[in-house]
Chain A
Amino acid sequence: MLRAIRYFLREGWSSLWHNKGANLLSIAIIIVSLYVLGVFLVLSTNFNHIIERWSEDVQVNIFLDENLSEPALLYLQERLSILPEIGEFIYISKQEALQRFQILFPSLQTLPDEIGENPFPSSYELKIKKEYQTIDGVRGLASRLKSLDGVKEVSYDLQWIERLSTVMKLLRVIGIFLVGVLVFSAVSTTANVIKLLAYARKDEIDIMKLVGASSWFIKGPFLVEGMLQGFIAGIISIGLLYLSYRLVAYYLALSYNLLFGFLLFTFLPLEYWLGIIGGGTLVGLIGSSISIRKFLRY
């Protein structure tokens, strides 16, 4: 078994080397598909990070009715304390809200006097527990809060996150489609390249069959050749991805220091690297096994 694997590896590598031209074409096509896949993975990983980070700061405010009685306020407070999503909450009275406004906007300090009354409603500031800091979680909580007695309005700043996650969903759909097309073309290119190589060695394959070589013994080196194509393409595409990532990060950091420096904060984690290299190897394996089959019929 080990001897056979060694033989497959040696023959596969030797054929890859001897047919550099055709194999390079195949490797290049696999690189393109893996590179595009990688770009989408980098983007989606980073968008996910951003969404996670922004979601951590989600705060929900509920504004209360003007004439809420003391018992009604206590009842509301009790209801808030039993809601599982809420970590802690603080009550902001009308007076406190006014003071905050005056601190934040000193130039508008006299505005309430001019209006003649305190226009700010009393409210609760709610901190959401980490496990509920998702868009759906916050949206669900807000709609339940709205239905509580004494609650006039619920506000939460999720618009940006919602938009970003819509962009991400779109990106994912485009990515899946594009990568699908590219993977298909990579598989068919590998299949055709291996078919050409097998065709050039048809006599050799026939002789092997005549002297008693099994199908596995004949196709093993071709499968290894296809897998090597994908493996090499996987490694090169990871290298290219990293280079592009560093370049883009560098230029964006120069131009839009804060925003994009924040956007491009991570490269792909190790398991994605392995996934891309494994994916490339699989593309090569599928391509070569499709093409070699017809040469092995007895």
Chain B
Amino acid sequence: MIQMFNVFKNYDPMSPALIDISLHIRKGEFVFVSGPSGAGKTTFLKLIYREELPTRGHILVNRRNIAKLPPSKIPYLRRSMGIVFQDFKLLNNKTIFDNVSFVLKILGVPIAITKKKVFNMLRMVDIHHKMKSFPPQLSGGEQQRVAIARALINDPALLLADEPTGNLDPELSMEIMRLFEEANQKGTTVVVATHNPALIGCISNKRVIMLDKGRIVKYY
């Protein structure tokens, strides 16, 4: 699903964000990318969804070299993914329902199906009672759940989550991880970036990539 070959990423030549990363994440795997703040976890994910380009090296997603992907094809790459951003990235002038349904609108899913799917998804993350609210009216945890609902709504082949439980209490965090696990069991490849070791412990069949100062320090 994801292959990296000697990938380097420098925002600033003096302090590289990622150094010589080579790995292979197979289809259907559940992978944690772990490490302290500043280890390069977010950059790692950004390279996969082509928000950033590697300074050196090659990245293949679904066997396509994404550095060579023409700009017009980037939306299609992202439509095959669900992404949970650390800062949620919700559209503040749209309701919770519209935020989640937007992804299906892009895909041209009929309205009747969209309504049903979105309502079910919002119920799964326990935010359906606020579907007519706007993101600024919600707490951080609630917004995070909306972001997760949006990421899962189109049954993506690949789910990328950047600190997806950062604002959630332990109970809800477990619930969200169960959702990810469920998606994984349906065939979605899941990559979760987290600095929380407790979260890693709650998934049994997983791999962990430990990053520190941009390098892979442990891989199990």
Contacts and interface: CB of A to CB of B under 8 A. Distances in A.
A4 B109 CA distance: 11
A298 B106 contact: no
A4 B51 CA distance: 26
A269 interface: no
A72 interface: no
B91 A212 contact: no
B75 A207 contact: no
Given A3-B108, A297-B71, A298-B74, A210 B49 contact: yes
A204 B92 CA distance: 8
Contacts of A298: 50, 71, 74
A263 B75 CA distance: 60
Interface in A186-214: 203-204, 206-214
B106 A204 contact: no
A77 B161 CA distance: 100
A92 B76 CA distance: 88
Contacts of A206: 89
Contacts, number: 53
A91 B9 CA distance: 100
Given A204-B91, A217-B106, A211 B83 contact: yes
Interface residues of A, number: 18
B93 A204 contact: yes
Interface in A1-25: 3-4, 7
A215 B74 CA distance: 10
Contacts of A211: 78, 83, 102-103, 106, 150
Contacts of A215: 72, 75
Contacts of A213: 75, 102, 106
Nearest to B156: A212
B213 interface: no
A213 B75 CA distance: 6
Contacts of B32: none
B93 A214 contact: no
B10 to A, nearest CB: 20
Contacts of B83: 210-211
B218 interface: no
B103 to A, nearest CB: 5
Interface string B73-105: 011111101010100011111000000001101
Given A204-B93, A298-B74, A210 B51 contact: yes
Given A3-B105, A204-B91, 19 more contacts: A3-B108, A3-B111, A4-B108, A204-B93, A207-B91, A208-B91, A210-B85, A211-B78, A212-B79, A212-B81, A212-B103, A212-B106, A212-B107, A213-B75, A214-B72, A214-B75, A215-B75, A217-B75, A298-B50
11 contacts: A3-B111, A203-B89, A204-B92, A207-B89, A209-B74, A210-B51, A210-B85, A210-B89, A212-B106, A212-B107, A213-B106
